A and B are shown apart, each in its own frame.
Chain A
Amino acid sequence: EVQLLESGGGFVQPGGSLRLSCAASGFSFSSYAMSWVRKAPGKGLEWVSGINSNSGRTYYADSVKGRFTISRDNSKNTVFLQMNNLRADDTAMYYCAKQDTAAVQFPFDFWGQGTLVTVSA
């Protein structure tokens, strides 16, 4: 059974940093691309970032480019999202999502339960 378990969310002041983790199990992690998708209060889903299976290619939404960094450790079946210079509009539930092939361009087929990030003074 595919399981994605996010952690690392919390309360942070504007300008601060957080590192999200997503521990995966139940599938061959190193064979699949992974993404982070967020949902802010009262808004819809927004894709944040994605990484190919071998970390050879990463992608970012314009809203986070230069502030967030996605990475993965295939030996630990974990994908990370380093978030720096956080702003109030980064407040959201952050979901980890598995893609159905090795490339980020392909659909998300499983999602985690999410970890909540709150940015406020």
Chain B
Amino acid sequence: QSMLIQPPSASGTPGQRVTISCSGNISSLGTNPVNWYQHLPGSAPKHLIYRSNQRPSGVPDRFSGSKSGTSASLAISGLQSEDEGDYYCAAWDDSLNGRWVFGGGTKLTVL
């Protein structure tokens, strides 16, 4: 089964830099970009990084993404208390009829 693997949790203190990894066995992950979504408590999910390293307008440049081969990462610098929530990577899987695959999510705690 195609999967994207994320650490279940991450943490940091205000002002620190944290990274969240995403790796997978999706056959097309080597060619398809990874996207990142932020899901804060009580809110709709939000588009954070698209096409592996692009930031939508309105997303602070504290958030950055990168991808190498079949692994990707999200970096958050200058950590703020309002960043606490869940973060998901996602990629399109070309196998079979095609589908979106989400990572299991990483719960970020700001200590």
Contacts and interface: CB of A to CB of B under 8 A. Distances in A.
B35 interface: yes
A105 B92 contact: yes
B86 interface: yes
Given A59-B98, A61-B99, A109-B56, A45 B44 contact: no
Is the contact region of chain A dominated by helix, strand, or loop, or is it mixed?
strand
B50 A100 contact: yes
Interface residues of A, number: 26
A105 B37 contact: no
Contacts, number: 63
B interface majority secondary structure:
strand
Contact of B47 (A46, A62, A95, A109): A109
A47 interface: yes
Nearest to B34: A107
Interface of B: 33, 35, 37, 39, 44-47, 50-51, 56, 86, 88, 90, 92, 97-105
Given A45-B105, A108-B90, 14 more contacts: A37-B45, A44-B102, A44-B104, A45-B39, A45-B90, A47-B101, A59-B99, A60-B99, A95-B44, A104-B98, A104-B100, A108-B37, A109-B50, A109-B56
